Amino acid sequence: MPASVRTLTNQDLPKVTELLSRKPFENVFVASRIRTGGLEAFMLGCDVWGYEEDGELVSILHHGANMVPVNGTPEALDAYVARIGPIRTCASILGVADEALSLYEKLCRKWPGAWQRPREIRACQPLMVISAPPTVDPDPRVRRVGPADAESYFAAAVAMYTEEVGVSPLDGTNGYRWYVDRLLETGCAMGIVENDEVIFKSDVGSATSNTCQVAGVWLRRDLRGRGLSTPAMAAVVDLCREQWQNVTLYVNDFNTTARALYRRVGFDEVGALATVLY
């Protein structure tokens, strides 16, 4: 049976789940989305493609606004590139560093007009994990933040996103506001609120049954450099570990201050991701 790419359905969930479980820390984003929305595009919001050899599922591609290869072998990536074509619909390519970067390079070679001018390439983003209590005392002010603090949390989230990504998340769709509101409603937003203002924030952006991925870490600019982030992150880990055994995050390799902070809290580097931003 020849190798092929096809759109997956919920009938493929057992095979997809097994494939994702081989690298649970690296695959938490895709696994979280599929755990919530399944494999049907009308629920997930995008297609998931599968690459098969001799009828066996070898690789998958989350083909949404974030395009993410999982177990992207050279043959699988070539097959995806041929099917993706010359029209770019995603805002980023991300995943395990060598797979995401290889997919990007292959797309540039095959379809240069659409793919060869990214806004930024973050080629090495260390993946960090903690599976035990933090090694420093937590800041007791950190708590789950709910809808009552929505306006201040949203302002902090916009500031964080703009600093981190380099562009504002605000557009005519109101999609970022919906995303932040969901974090607040589901207990996935954490922070320090003083005088009705969020001065520190962090989110659980993705989660499976035993692993979560922390994102959106931000401290108000005038408070930085005072040693506040380390105990605050320790408190975030404690809150996350009430529900998940493993807490993961990834950070840009050039952000040596953040990497040192996470190591002080007890995180270990276990791999590397990469992101190509358009």
Cα distance between residue 275 and residue 217, in whole Å: 18
CA distances from 19 to 14, 30, 130, 216 (A): 9, 11, 23, 27
Enclosing domain of residue 103? 4-117
Looking at residue 24, its amino acid is: P
Q: Is the pLDDT of residue 171 over 90?
A: no
Q: Which residues pair with 133 in a beta bridge?
A: none
Proportion of the chain in helix, strand, coil states, percent, rounded to 5:
40, 30, 30
Q: How many independent structural domains does the chain possess?
A: 2
Cα distance between residue 4 and residue 211, in whole Å: 31
125 part of a folded domain: no
278 part of a folded domain: no
Same domain, 25 and 108: yes
Cα distance between residue 106 and residue 148, in whole Å: 47
Lowest mean pLDDT among 18-32, 46-60, 92-106, 163-177: 163-177
| Tokens representing residue 115 in the block | 């793919």
Q: Are 276 and 100 in contact (CB under 8 A)?
A: yes
234 part of a folded domain: yes
Q: Is the pLDDT of residue 1 over 80?
A: no
Average pLDDT over residues 131-135: 98
Average pLDDT, the chain: 96
